[in-house]
Amino acid sequence: EPEVTQTPSHQVTQMGQEVILRCVPISNHLYFYWYRQILGQKVEFLVSFYNNEISEKSEIFDDQFSVERPDGSNFTLKIRSTKLEDSAMYFCASSVLAGGLGETQYFGPGTRLLVL
């Protein structure tokens, strides 16, 4: 069964460094998402992406964050200058249609980011 994959599974970085988290969505999906989950807290929406542009973003997704689909398969989340509070599990998800249409989102296994 097709699945969303994410790399790396774990990333440790120093505060102020840039990190890029990578995702390979399911191949025939058109909508892509990033979520984060701080340890012990709820899954929080960051951004949705469709047709090579951001379709919606949350207040968490400030200028330090950016997303890109550099080729036909990868979907990346970049954090320009990491802060301690960026430490969290980051999940990528994809769906055939828009999540707001009730379409099932398929989540990757996550990247655990630790900022020191």
Partner 1 sequence: SQKIEQNSEALNIQEGKTATLTCNYTNYSPAYLQWYRQDPGRGPVFLLLIRENEKEKRKERLKVTFDTTLKQSLFHITASQPADSATYLCALARDDKIIFGKGTRLHILP
* Contact residues for partner 1, defined by CB under 8 A: 4, 31, 33, 35, 41-45, 48, 50, 55-56, 58, 89, 91, 93, 98-102, 104-110
What's the closest the beta carbon of residue 91 comes to partner 1, in angstroms? 5
Task: Considering the complex, state which of residue 67 and residue 108 has its C-beta at the smaller distance from partner 1.
Answer: 108
Query: For residues 42 and 26, what is the distance between their CA atoms, to the nearest angstrom?
Result: 24
β-pairing, 88-95 vs 31-37, is: antiparallel
Task: Considering the complex, state which of residue 9 and residue 81 has its C-beta at the smaller distance from partner 1.
Answer: 9
Query: For residues 24 and 58, what is the distance between their CA atoms, to the nearest angstrom?
Result: 22
Please report the beta strands in 8-110, taking only residues with DSSP state E, as ranges in sequence order. 10-13, 19-24, 31-37, 43-50, 53-57, 65-68, 75-79, 88-95, 106-107
What's the closest the beta carbon of residue 18 comes to partner 1, in angstroms? 24
What's the closest the beta carbon of residue 81 comes to partner 1, in angstroms? 26
Task: Considering the complex, state which of residue 14 and residue 39 has its C-beta at the smaller distance from partner 1.
Answer: 39
